A = this chain, B = another copy of it.
């Protein structure tokens, strides 16, 4: 699972940061969280192809989070897309999609399936689920929790040996979930496999003040991608406009005991985001500030 930060700016773009868009590759599938203006061009600058995007999750309807949709859709069409495209977002997503998918002299020749979703709803995409949770912004907005299904438990070699299973093909059969017979006794996989282990979890905050709901939802996540529009000397302004400071994001990450915190949605007032990284690391050391086209490989986090 690989994250590519296509746009990491907040509100307005800047010469160095496009507006919000985060691509998540899982095998041959790709999801996109938010799609600010210019996302199609960021794809072109990256090694990714926007033709691989299957599902798009929009957090809310401020322009910097969704105005890249019409151009992306038109360019997908121009590039010969035939595959369905799924778009999820808060109430209004279906109406907005109907409007933006046919702007100007354009009709898409592929299906665009939009759906309004509510906090608490879970979308099953096969390889993963995406759950919407309420976020605390100035307009209706969602955060998203991406989770893989639980992975098989660990194979307990010591236990298998105790039961007399010899190393070799019988180990493989048990690991594949099949029972085996050793000295006339049937041994089921459950006897030698540990409990299922949670799949990887990545949480994308969208625009939000720090919330308890996000802490709960992000608990133990491999990666929390949290907005950090401003630094903590400007917290009043951040909260007034429904945003978080880098310190806020770090406190959420710490409380949720995530693996890595990645800060994004950085205001264009920062030429250098080092101040944000520094203040977050005081609270949560494993923090990085995203930059445009940064990639991050999400590895399974072995929990105690």
A residues contacting B by CB (< 8 A) are 11-15, 18, 37-38, 40-41, 44-45, 60-64, 66-68, 70-71, 74-75, 78-79, 92, 96, 99-100, 103-106, 139
Contact = CB atoms under 8 A, between A and B. Distances in A.
Nearest to A9: B41
A104 B66 contact: yes
Contact of A99 (B40, B68, B99): B99
B37 A68 contact: yes
A254 to B, nearest CB: 31
A11 B78 contact: yes
A62 B12 contact: no
Contact of A41 (B11, B18, B79): B18
A63 B102 CA distance: 10
Given A37-B37, A37-B38, A100-B103, 13 more contacts: A12-B44, A12-B75, A14-B41, A15-B41, A60-B105, A61-B103, A62-B104, A63-B104, A64-B71, A67-B74, A67-B103, A96-B103, A99-B99
A105 B139 contact: yes
* Centre residue among A18, A99, A104, A106 by max chain B CB count within 10 A: A104
A100 B70 CA distance: 11
A71 B65 CA distance: 10
Nearest to A41: B13
Contact of A40 (B13, B66, B104): B13
| Interface pairs A-B: 9 shortest CB-CB | A61-B104, A63-B74, A37-B71, A13-B41, A105-B139, A38-B38, A61-B105, A15-B45, A67-B71
Contacts of A67: 70-71, 74, 103-104
A106 B63 contact: yes
Contacts of A62: 104-106
Nearest to A268: B44
A41 B18 CA distance: 8
Contacts of A18: 41
A100 B96 CA distance: 11
Contacts of A44: 12-15
A72 to B, nearest CB: 9
A67 B62 CA distance: 16
A71 B62 CA distance: 10
Contacts of A99: 99, 103
Nearest to A61: B104
A66 B37 CA distance: 12
A61 B15 CA distance: 27
A76 B78 CA distance: 30
